[in-house]
Chain A
Amino acid sequence: MIEREVTVTNRAGLHTRPASMIVRKASQFRSEFFIQKDGYEINGKSIIGVMTLAAEHGATLILQFDGEDEIEAADALALLFEDGFGEEK
């Protein structure tokens, strides 16, 4: 199991489009994927879950991966956050 800390860098926060991107990306990996925010944990492969986070610009999240491809998954997801989902930062 590995963890990564990420920050929401895009100005608009985790609205519908980024949330879809996270879920689609995470679903390409076998590892289980959870996101924690302020002591609250959701399944990162669930769009409803990711939306419920309502994470705004600047929020810090902990990404947690568990499974055979956890490193690849962690790298891929962290990259999405770094890129700000291709949106303006």
Chain B
Amino acid sequence: MISTNLISSALERGIAVSPGIAIGPAFLFAKVSFDVEKISIDSKVLKNELSRFEDAVRRAERDLNKIISITREKLGEHSATIFEAQLLMLRDQSLYPEVVDLIEKSSVNAGYAVQTVMTKHRRLMEASDSEYLRERANDLLDIQERIIRHLRRGRILSAVDENSIVISENLTAADIILFSRKGILGCVTDFGGPTSHVSIMARALHVPAIVSTHGITNVVKPGDLIILDGIKGEVLVNPDEATLAHYVSKQERYSRLVQEDKTLVPLPAETLDGHHVGLQANLELREELVQLAEYGAEGIGLYRTEMALLMEGRALVTETEQFTHYLEVVEAARPNTTTFRILDLGGDKMLPMGNREHNPFLGWRGIRIMLDKMELLVPNLRAMLRASAFGPVRILLPMVSSIREVRSFREIMQNTMLDLKAEGIDFDPNVPMGVMVEVPSVALAADQFARETDFFSIGTNDLTQYVLAVDRGNDLVAHLYDEMHPAVLQLIQMTTTAAKAAGIPVSLCGELATNLRAVPVLLGLGVDTFSASPIYLPGIKRVIRAMKMSEGQALAKKALIASDPAEFRAVMDKWLDEHACGVSFFLEGKQTA
């Protein structure tokens, strides 16, 4: 540990994207600043500059070969494709010779030459009409940075200490794959969101991670002692002795809990009085499919189809590509059900379609876009229907607000089925169609929706933001965001009551499912199934197995009329502490209000 007088403590908050607690020294992983200085090289040592370049390329190749083999092993062949392409770019016939040429003819340093050549090609790609090519410009940037890093600091990766916490402005999926091999303890980045590729990789590789800290790199110095709380989303810099001791014990409790959770995986999600509760996974990428078995998910409650599309670029995601993808998903989930959600674009997940809206969350998003854009909807739907021939599939509509949308969609689905039939393509003609309950109108008119749909899936994040009129990304009002607000709970109850009357199932796929204190209340309100990131399922199961349905119902009754949310939270925390021992510290991170 460091002991100088200049140590300053700090607390930084971000979004916890991969749970766990890490304690160790900071390693600052610097992304190259964009301008490499131009230096004139004496013609006598130009040879040396050329061999420095070749050397850096060779090291970058070594990195990428390692990344490719780890990716293949841990995440599958499909995920390695992009790194294989990067490997080819390193010695690309229109890049490598151009760099060499520039070094020789203009007598400049290798770093400057790399930057100049790569930037030129990148600009061309960025200017392309093709979304796919613009996306590939990032690959070029990745290898540019990789080469320059090697030119500058020699063996960069060996500098990543085994027991350090990597702090960076941003990381690529490749970075995190290599780091995990190096046995780093965790990582924190200034940018990124919970569904960015790096976050998904961190979860898949079990590296505790926090993203979106907005400035951690300005606060932390190399070697500072860091506590990364990947449950709460907090980074503590140079904590005092007492705090450190607290976290050391928290870390122990957490790893014990994780061990115990493993023993829960094969056990049923059943209350003490014998009610079975469905536990399903929220997923969005092929890389995550392995987690179904790992965390004991009974199928997929929400497969977000827009993610692959946003990552791979719109132009390429044909029906066949989507079908190939969905087939893989269905096969991984079989014999359990896969719930595919129709592309949910808009809001904060925007494709460049040229529309700038003043209020995107109340604008053109979800099913509203899809019903206007048949060229997007039809391939998406056909791919889902085709996948339904290979295992149980359900289709879920996002952002529905009116029954007319359900009817329009149903008609399109029926026509699509007729087309498939005419083409002799197999599908399940009885594939269930359900709606997301995220716009309050659906909960309020749940009776009507229950008559015309086959299941409900409650999305608590949007439901809460719409009911309370609070954007939780807005610091000025974020404290008003409360997923357990009695108004939200009442809408959930209206939904489950209507569903029960119509005999259709209700699942809940919002973040509220991962707030363990809410689990008994939600069961009491009549939710049948929880769907969450697989990593959270054992914790939810632990709570379910420690409660009786009658207790849940009693707690729900209280929650519906709780006038002081904070007070009720305390009641729930106490209950959890007494019943599902060990999970209490999960609650610290969920102080949403």
Tell me the bound Cα distance from A43 to B92 in angstroms: 10
List residues 93-111 of chain B with CB under 8 A from any CB of chain A: 93-95
CB < 8 Å: which of A16, A19, A46, A88 contacts B324? A88
Interface size on B, residues (CB 8 A): 28
Q: Are B124 and A47 in contact (CB under 8 A)?
A: no
Q: Does B32 contact A (CB under 8 A)?
A: no
Give the size range of A's interface with the partner.
20 to 34
Q: Does B269 contact A (CB under 8 A)?
A: no
Q: Least Cβ distance of A87 to chain B in Å? A: 8
A12 cross-chain contacts in B, Cβ below 8 A: 316, 318, 320-321
B316 cross-chain contacts in A, Cβ below 8 A: 12-13, 15
Q: Least Cβ distance of A7 to chain B in Å? A: 16
CB < 8 Å: which of B89, B95, B133, B323 contacts A52? B133
B82 cross-chain contacts in A, Cβ below 8 A: 16
Tell me the bound Cα distance from A86 to B124 in angstroms: 30
Q: Are B132 and A54 in contact (CB under 8 A)?
A: yes
Q: Least Cβ distance of B139 to chain A in Å? A: 8
Given known contacts A11-B321, A15-B316, A17-B81, A48 and B132 CB-to-CB distance under 8 angstroms: no
B130 cross-chain contacts in A, Cβ below 8 A: 54
B319 cross-chain contacts in A, Cβ below 8 A: 11
Q: Does B353 contact A (CB under 8 A)?
A: no
Q: Are B93 and A19 in contact (CB under 8 A)?
A: no
Given known contacts A12-B321, A46-B92, A48-B89, A20 and B133 CB-to-CB distance under 8 angstroms: no
B320 to A, closest residue via Cβ: A11
Q: Does B499 contact A (CB under 8 A)?
A: no
Q: Are B321 and A16 in contact (CB under 8 A)?
A: no
List residues 125-145 of chain B with CB under 8 A from any CB of chain A: 125, 128, 130, 132-133, 136, 140
List residues 317-333 of chain B with CB under 8 A from any CB of chain A: 318-321, 323-324
Q: Are B132 and A15 in contact (CB under 8 A)?
A: yes
Tell me the bound Cα distance from A11 to B85 in angstroms: 20
Tell me the bound Cα distance from A19 to B88 in angstroms: 10
Q: Does A37 contact B (CB under 8 A)?
A: no
CB < 8 Å: which of A43, A52, A88 contacts B125? A52
Q: Are B320 and A88 in contact (CB under 8 A)?
A: yes
Q: What DSSP secondary structure best describes chain B's contact surface? A: helix
B140 to A, closest residue via Cβ: A48
Q: Are A43 and B132 in contact (CB under 8 A)?
A: no
Tell me the bound Cα distance from A17 to B312 in angstroms: 12
B136 cross-chain contacts in A, Cβ below 8 A: 16, 51
Q: Does B123 contact A (CB under 8 A)?
A: no
Q: Does B84 contact A (CB under 8 A)?
A: yes
Tell me the bound Cα distance from A23 to B85 in angstroms: 9
Q: Least Cβ distance of A3 to chain B in Å? A: 20
Q: Least Cβ distance of B389 to chain A in Å? A: 15
A88 to B, closest residue via Cβ: B320
A20 cross-chain contacts in B, Cβ below 8 A: 81, 84-85, 88
Q: Are B81 and A16 in contact (CB under 8 A)?
A: yes
Tell me the bound Cα distance from A52 to B82 in angstroms: 15
CB < 8 Å: which of A11, A48, A57, A87 contacts B92? A48
A23 cross-chain contacts in B, Cβ below 8 A: 88
B88 cross-chain contacts in A, Cβ below 8 A: 20, 23-24, 47
Q: Least Cβ distance of A50 to chain B in Å? A: 9
B81 cross-chain contacts in A, Cβ below 8 A: 16-17, 20
Tell me the bound Cα distance from A24 to B320 in angstroms: 25
Q: Are B94 and A43 in contact (CB under 8 A)?
A: yes
Q: Are B133 and A51 in contact (CB under 8 A)?
A: yes
Q: Least Cβ distance of A15 to chain B in Å? A: 5
Interface string of A36-52 (1 = CB under 8 A from B): 00000001011111011
A45 cross-chain contacts in B, Cβ below 8 A: 93
Q: Does B262 contact A (CB under 8 A)?
A: no
Q: Does A56 contact B (CB under 8 A)?
A: yes
Q: Are B321 and A54 in contact (CB under 8 A)?
A: no
Q: Least Cβ distance of B339 to chain A in Å? A: 24
Interface string of A1-43 (1 = CB under 8 A from B): 0000000000111011101100110000000000000000001
Tell me the bound Cα distance from A14 to B324 in angstroms: 16
Q: Are B93 and A16 in contact (CB under 8 A)?
A: no
Q: Are B121 and A48 in contact (CB under 8 A)?
A: yes
B128 cross-chain contacts in A, Cβ below 8 A: 52, 54
B95 to A, closest residue via Cβ: A48
Q: Least Cβ distance of B524 to chain A in Å? A: 48
Q: Are B318 and A11 in contact (CB under 8 A)?
A: yes
24 A-B contacts (beta carbon < 8 Å): A11-B319, A11-B320, A12-B321, A13-B318, A15-B132, A16-B136, A17-B81, A17-B85, A20-B88, A24-B88, A46-B93, A46-B95, A48-B92, A48-B95, A49-B93, A51-B125, A52-B124, A52-B128, A54-B128, A54-B130, A54-B132, A54-B133, A54-B315, A56-B315
- 14 further A-B contacts with Cβ under 8 Å, apart from A11-B319, A47-B89, are A11-B318, A15-B316, A24-B88, A46-B92, A47-B85, A47-B88, A47-B92, A48-B95, A48-B121, A49-B94, A54-B315, A57-B318, A87-B320, A88-B320
The 4 closest A-B pairs by CB, nearest first: A11-B320, A47-B88, A46-B94, A46-B93
